[in-house]
C-alpha cells in the first residue's frame, strides 16, 4: 500500500507540474520575446540619439554607446548601407522603418529592431538597425526553462516526501491492527488514530475479536455441558446393567425399563443439541409471540396436570420477528425445570420491554428461588431433561437474547428475545 500511495502521489504531482509547466513555458517565452524586442528598440533609440555626435559611418563610436555587442547597421532612406554590420539589401524590417515605422521581428537567425531617424544638421534621414542572435534568446529561454524544471522537480520531491509520510501514517495503524489481530487475545488493541475510516476499521476488528472470544468461551462451555448431559444417562444405564449382572432381580424387565428411560433422556438431549447446533439456519418469522407461546405451552398441559399443577399463559399481544425453534427449545427446558423442580402453579408471562427492543418471556412457579447454587453453572447442573439450563442460556445468547434467573421470592426465569 505504501508503494501504491507514493506512486499515486508522485504521478499526480508530476502530471500537475507538467500541465502547469507547458503554459508557463509559453508565457515565459512570449514575455522574454517581448522584453527582448523592447530592449532592442531601446538600444536603437540610444544609437539614434548619438548620431548627432558621431558620424553614421563610425560604427565603433556608436557601438560604444551600447552595453551589448549586438550587431549594428545604419541605412540611408534609399536603402543604402552606410555603416555597421547588416544585410546589403534592406530586409523587410528595414524597409518598414524606411517607410517611417518602428519595426521589429525575426529574420533567419536573429531578432531585429529598426527605427527611422529624422534628418538633422549633422546627418540626413537614416534608419538604425540592431539585431540580437537567436542563440542568445534561446540560451535565455533554456535558462528559464531549466529553473522552472528545477522548481518542478523540487515540487515533486516535496510531494514524494509528503506521500511517504502520508502512506506511513496510514499504514502504521493498519500494521498495528494486523499485528494485534495476529497476536494473542490478551493483548490490548491499538489506540484510535483520529482518522475516521481507520477508527471504524479498528472498532469493527475489536468488536469482531470480542464476539469471537465470546463465541469461543460459549463453545467451551457448550462442549463441557454437552459432555455432562450425554455422559449422565450413559453412566446411569451402565450402572443399572452392571448392577443387574451382579445381582439379577426376579423381574428382568425392571432393568430394561430403567434403560429405556435413560435412552429416552439421551434421545431428547441429542435432539435438543442438534436443534441448538442448527438453529442458526432456521428461518425467522414475524408473529404474535404470545400466541406462539400459548401453542407451545399447550403441549405441556398434560404433563403439568399429571402432577396436579396448573399451567397458564398471560400477557398482551407482542408482535416481533423471532426464531420459533429457538424459543421452543428454551421453553421446553424452563417448563421442564418448573415441572420437575418447582412447585405450585406455573405462569408464563409475555410482554414487551419499555424501550420496545425486547420481547420478554417470564416462566415462574411458586417454588423457592434456588440460592445455594448457580443454576447456570458449568457443572453440577442437571435439569434431568433436554439440554439443561446452561445450554438454554447458550441458545438464548446465540440468538442475540439472554436468559436469567430473577431475584424474586419464587423461581422466575426471564427470557429476552430481540424484537427485530
Answer yes or no: do 253 and 105 share one domain.
no
How many other CB atoms are found less than 10 A from the CB of residue 81? 18
Strand ordering across the sheet containing 410-418: 311-314, 346-352, 358-368, 410-418, 402-405
Is 25 part of a structural domain of the chain? yes
Answer yes or no: do 251 and 392 share one domain.
yes
Answer yes or no: do 336 and 219 share one domain.
yes
Answer yes or no: do 361 and 237 share one domain.
yes
Answer yes or no: do 244 and 387 share one domain.
yes
Count, residues in the chain: 420
Going 271 to 273 to 278 to 279, the CA torsion angle's sign is positive
**Structural contact between residues 324 and 349, judged by C-beta atoms closer than 8 angstroms:** no
Answer yes or no: do 17 and 120 share one domain.
yes
Is 94 part of a structural domain of the chain? yes
| Domain harbouring 343, CATH code | 3.30.565.10
C-alpha cell, 229: 448431559
pLDDT digits (tens, 9 = 90+) for 265-290: 677 667 666 655 555 545 667 788 88
C-alpha cell, 90: 534592406
Answer yes or no: do 324 and 411 share one domain.
yes
What's the pLDDT score for residue 352? 84
**Structural contact between residues 342 and 411, judged by C-beta atoms closer than 8 angstroms:** yes
Is 367 part of a structural domain of the chain? yes
| Domain harbouring 37, CATH code | 3.30.450.20
Answer yes or no: do 248 and 393 share one domain.
yes
Final residue of a domain: which of 144, 170, 190?
144
C-alpha cell, 401: 437474547
- Reference 129, options 89, 77, 101, 94; nearest CA is 94
Q: How far is CA 342 from CA 72, 297, 376, in A?
A: 125, 16, 16
pLDDT digits (tens, 9 = 90+) for 168-227: 777 777 777 777 777 765 677 778 877 777 788 778 878 887 777 777 776 676 666 666
Q: What is the 3-state secondary structure (H, E, C) of 357-397?
A: CEEEEEEEEEEECCCCCCCCCCCCCCCCCCCHHHHHHHHHH
Q: What is the distance between the alpha carbons of residues 384 and 372, in angstroms, rounded to a whole number?
A: 18
What's the pLDDT score for residue 385? 43
Answer yes or no: do 222 and 367 share one domain.
yes
Is 152 part of a structural domain of the chain? no
Is 171 part of a structural domain of the chain? no
**Domain count of the fold of the chain:** 2
DSSP 310: -
Instruction: Tell me the CB-side half-sphere exposure of residue 13, using CA atoms within 13 A.
Output: 19
Answer yes or no: do 126 and 224 share one domain.
no
Q: What is the distance between the alpha carbons of residues 375 and 307, in angstroms, rounded to a whole number?
A: 23
DSSP 122: S
Final residue of a domain: which of 144, 163, 191?
144
Q: Is 233 exposed, middle or buried (0-12, 13-18, 19+ CB in 10 A)?
A: buried
Is 157 part of a structural domain of the chain? no
Q: Are strands 81-84 and 72-76 parallel, antiparallel or unpaired?
A: antiparallel
Three-class secondary structure of residue 56 per DSSP = coil
The residues facing 111 across adjacent strands are: 106, 132
What's the pLDDT score for residue 277? 59
Is 78 part of a structural domain of the chain? yes
Is 323 part of a structural domain of the chain? yes
Final residue of a domain: which of 116, 144, 172?
144
Parent domain of 326: 214-418
Q: Which residues of the chain have pLDDT under 70?
A: 1-2, 184-186, 218-219, 221-229, 232, 265, 268-269, 271-284, 372-373, 377-387, 420
Answer yes or no: do 404 and 278 share one domain.
yes
Answer yes or no: do 262 and 401 share one domain.
yes
Q: What is the distance between the alpha carbons of residues 291 and 285, in angstroms, rounded to a whole number?
A: 13
Three-class secondary structure of residue 12 per DSSP = helix
What are the contacts of 10-16 at 24+ separation with CB within 8 A? 10/156, 10/159, 10/160, 10/163, 13/155, 13/156, 13/159, 13/160, 14/156
Three-class secondary structure of residue 355 per DSSP = coil
Amino acid at each position: 500500500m505504501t508503494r501504491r500511495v507514493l506512486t499515486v502521489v508522485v504521478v499526480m504531482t508530476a502530471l500537475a507540474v507538467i500541465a502547469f509547466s507547458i503554459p508557463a513555458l509559453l508565457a515565459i517565452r512570449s514575455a522574454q520575446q517581448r522584453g527582448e524586442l523592447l530592449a532592442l528598440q531601446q538600444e536603437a533609440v540610444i544609437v539614434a540619439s548619438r548620431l548627432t555626435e558621431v558620424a553614421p559611418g563610425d560604427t565603433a563610436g556608436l557601438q560604444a554607446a551600447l552595453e551589448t555587442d549586438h550587431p549594428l547597421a545604419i541605412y540611408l532612406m534609399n536603402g543604402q548601407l552606410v555603416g555597421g554590420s547588416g544585410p546589403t539589401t534592406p530586409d523587410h524590417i528595414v524597409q518598414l522603418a524606411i517607410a517611417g515605422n518602428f519595426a521589429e521581428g525575426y529574420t533567419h537567425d536573429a531578432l531585429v529592431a529598426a527605427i527611422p531617424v529624422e534628418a538633422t544638421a549633422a546627418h540626413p534621414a537614416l534608419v538604425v538597425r540592431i539585431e540580437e542572435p537567436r542563440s542568445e534568446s534561446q540560451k535565455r529561454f533554456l535558462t528559464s526553462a531549466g529553473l522552472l524544471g528545477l522548481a518542478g522537480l523540487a515540487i515533486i520531491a516535496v510531494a514524494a516526501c509528503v506521500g511517504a509520510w502520508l502512506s506511513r501514517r496510514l499504514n502504521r495503524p493498519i500494521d498495528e491492527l494486523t499485528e494485534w489481530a495476529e497476536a494473542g487475545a490478551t493483548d490490548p488493541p491499538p489506540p484510535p488514530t483520529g482518522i475516521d475510516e481507520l477508527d471504524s476499521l479498528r472498532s469493527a476488528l475489536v468488536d469482531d475479536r470480542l464476539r469471537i472470544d465470546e463465541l469461543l468461551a460459549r463453545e467451551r462451555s457448550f462442549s463441557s455441558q454437552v459432555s455432562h448431559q450425554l455422559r449422565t444417562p450413559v453412566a446411569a444405564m451402565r450402572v443399572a446393567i452392571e448392577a443387574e449382572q451382579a445381582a439379577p432381580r426376579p423381574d428382568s424387565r425392571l432393568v430394561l425399563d430403567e434403560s429405556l428411560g435413560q435412552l429416552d433422556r439421551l434421545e431428547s438431549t441429542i435432539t435438543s443439541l442438534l436443534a441448538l447446533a442448527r438453529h442458526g439456519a432456521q428461518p425467522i418469522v414475524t408473529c404474535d409471540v404470545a400466541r406462539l407461546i400459548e401453542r407451545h405451552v399447550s403441549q405441556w398441559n398434560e404433563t403439568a396436570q399429571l402432577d396436579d399443577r396448573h399451567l397458564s399463559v398471560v400477557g398482551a399481544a407482542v408482535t416481533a420477528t423471532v426464531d420459533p425453534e429457538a424459543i421452543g427449545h428454551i421453553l421446553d427446558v424452563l417448563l421442564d425445570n418448573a415441572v420437575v423442580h418447582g412447585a405450585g402453579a406455573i405462569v408464563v408471562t409475555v410482554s414487551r420491554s419499555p424501550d420496545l427492543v425486547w420481547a420478554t418471556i417470564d416462566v415462574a412457579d411458586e417454588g423457592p428461588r434456588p440460592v445455594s447454587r448457580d443454576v447456570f453453572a458449568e457443572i453440577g447442573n442437571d435439569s434431568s431433561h433436554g439440554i439443561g439450563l446452561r445450554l438454554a442460556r447458550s441458545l438464548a445468547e446465540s440468538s442475540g437474547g439472554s436468559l436469567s434467573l430473577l431475584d424474586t421470592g419464587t423461581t422466575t426465569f426471564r427470557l429476552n428475545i430481540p424484537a427485530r
